[in-house]
Structure 1
C-alpha cells in the first residue's frame, strides 16, 4: 500500500486549496502539510501510531501563541475517546483518510482560520513560569510526598495517577484561597509530569516560550506540562472524563 500517495491524493488536494503544501514524511510515521499566512505557520499532520502501525490520527497545529494542538476529539464530542483510527487494509486506509478529509472540509478549515490569531493565556503568566522553574524540585517533593506518583508503577500508571489526582480534586469553591490551592496543585502535578517525561525520555524544558514546553528528542510533538494539567482539570471540573486527558496527551 502506498500510504503517501493516498494521503496526497485525498487530503492533500483538499489542503492545497487553502495554501497547504506537502513537505514530507517525518520520522517515518508523520505526513506533514504546511502553510504560512503572514507570520503564522500552520501544520496539518497525519500521524501513524509509533507502536501500532495500523492506527492513525489527524493533528492541527499553529505557531500563533495560545493555540493548543487540536485533534478531532477536541472538536467533536462523539469522538473524544478516539485518539487513533484503525486501518489494516488499503480499503480501510482510504476510508480513514477520507474521513479525515471530510472533517477538514466541514470543521478543520474554520478552526485553522481561528488558530491564525494569538490567544491570551491567563494562567501561564511570565511570573508563574518563573515560579515553576525556580520551585520545580520543591513542587515535585511536596506533591509526590502526598500522592506517591513517582517510582510507583509504570509510566502509563504514573500518568493516569496524575489524572486521578486531578479528578479527585475537581470540585473547588470559587474563593481566592481555594483558587490558590488549585493553582498550586496544577503546578505540582505539572512538575511531576515533567519529571516523569524527562526521566523516561530525556529532553529539555523551555520556560521562556509561550507555554512551558518539553522538547523530547525522539518525538516530533512537544509536551506542554502545565497546559496539559490545566486542560485536564477543567474537563474534570465539568465532570467530563471520557478519557484520561494527561495520559492521552503525554503518553
Structure 2
C-alpha cells in the first residue's frame, strides 16, 4: 500500500481546513504543520521501526523535543486504548487507524497544540538542535570524558540516575550557558546506560537524539538530553529523573 498517499488523503485533507499542510517525510514519520502566530505547530504520524503500528506526536517550534502523544491529551486513552502504538495488518486496518487519529487530533489534539504554543520559562531552558546533534555525533566521546572526570561507572540504571541527580543538585545555581557541555555529557552517560541495560541503540531523526529499545514487546523511545536538561532545570523536584525514567515503564 502507498502509506504516504493514504495519510495525505485520510488525515491531510481533514487537517487542511484547520490550516495544516503536508510538511514532509522524515525517517518513519509523515508530518503536517501550520503557522500559529510566531509558532509552528506540527502533527507527526510515526510508524514503528519494528512492528506494523502507528502513533501520533504533537509538538511546536518552541520546543521540538517536548512531544505530546495521544495518552497525554486524550482523556479516555487509558479506558479505550491503553497502548502506545495502534496496530494495522493491511490497508483497511491502516485506514481505520488513520480515521481514529483524525478524530482524536481534531477534537483534542488541536487544543493540546494551543497549550504547547504558549511561551513559558520552561520552554526557554531546553535542548537546542545543535546540542542534540553534538550528542548523537559524539556520545561515545562525551560519555568517556564524563566517566573519567566524575569517576562514575555504568552499573545499575537506578544507581546511574541517583548519581546524576546528585550532580544536578551540585550545579543547580549555574546558568544554562555554563551547564550545556556538562548536560550533554550527562545525557551521553545516561543514554549509554540505557543502551547497555536494555540493548538499545542511539538514533537521530534530523533534530532530536534518542535511544530506542524494546521492553515487554513495546518499542520505547527515550530522549536522554531532554530528560537531563529538564530535570536539571526542575531539580527542586526530588527524584525527578527517577520519576521520568519510571514513566517510560508505567
TM over 0.5: yes
1:183-222 aligned within 5 A: 187=183, 189-193=186-190, 216=204, 219-222=205-208
Provide the residue aligned with 2:32 in structure 1. Answer: 33
1:1-251 aligned within 5 A: 1-27=1-27, 29-52=28-51, 54-65=52-63, 68-76=66-74, 78=78, 82-121=83-122, 124=125, 139-141=146-148, 145-149=151-155, 162=157, 165-166=160-161, 180=169, 187=183, 189-193=186-190, 216=204, 219-223=205-209, 225-229=224-228, 234=240, 236-237=242-243, 241=246, 243-244=248-249
Task: Tell me: CA distance 1:194–1:16, structure 2 relative to 1, closer, same or farther (3 Å).
Answer: same
The number of residues matched between the two structures is 202
State the secondary structure of the residue aligned to 1:19. Answer: coil
Give, in angstroms, the shift of residue 20 of structure 1.
0.5
Q: Provide, for residues 86-145 of structure 1, a one-character-per-residue CA deviation record: whole Å limited to 9, x for no partner.
A: 11122221221122112212221001112222221299489xxx9xx9xx56543366x5
TM-score of the aligned structures, taking structure 1 as reference length: 0.60
The gaps in structure 1 that reach 5 residues or longer are: 150-160, 203-215, 246-251
TM-score of the aligned structures, taking structure 2 as reference length: 0.60
Please say if residues 67 and 118 of structure 1, whose CA atoms lie closer than 8 Å, have aligned partners that are also in contact: no
Task: Tell me: CA distance 1:194–1:64, structure 2 relative to 1, closer, same or farther (3 Å).
Answer: same
Give, in angstroms, the shift of residue 49 of structure 1.
1.6
Please say if residues 34 and 42 of structure 2, whose CA atoms lie closer than 8 Å, have aligned partners that are also in contact: yes
Please say if residues 140 and 191 of structure 1, whose CA atoms lie closer than 8 Å, have aligned partners that are also in contact: no
Bigger strand share: 2
Q: CA RMSD in A?
A: 4.5
Runs in 1 of length 4+ with deviation above 6 angstroms?
none
State the secondary structure of the residue aligned to 1:118. Answer: coil
Rounded to whole Å, the distance in 1 between the matches of 2:121 and 2:108 is 23
Task: Tell me: CA distance 1:23–1:49, structure 2 relative to 1, closer, same or farther (3 Å).
Answer: same
The gaps in structure 2 that reach 5 residues or longer are: 136-141, 174-181, 196-200, 210-222, 232-238
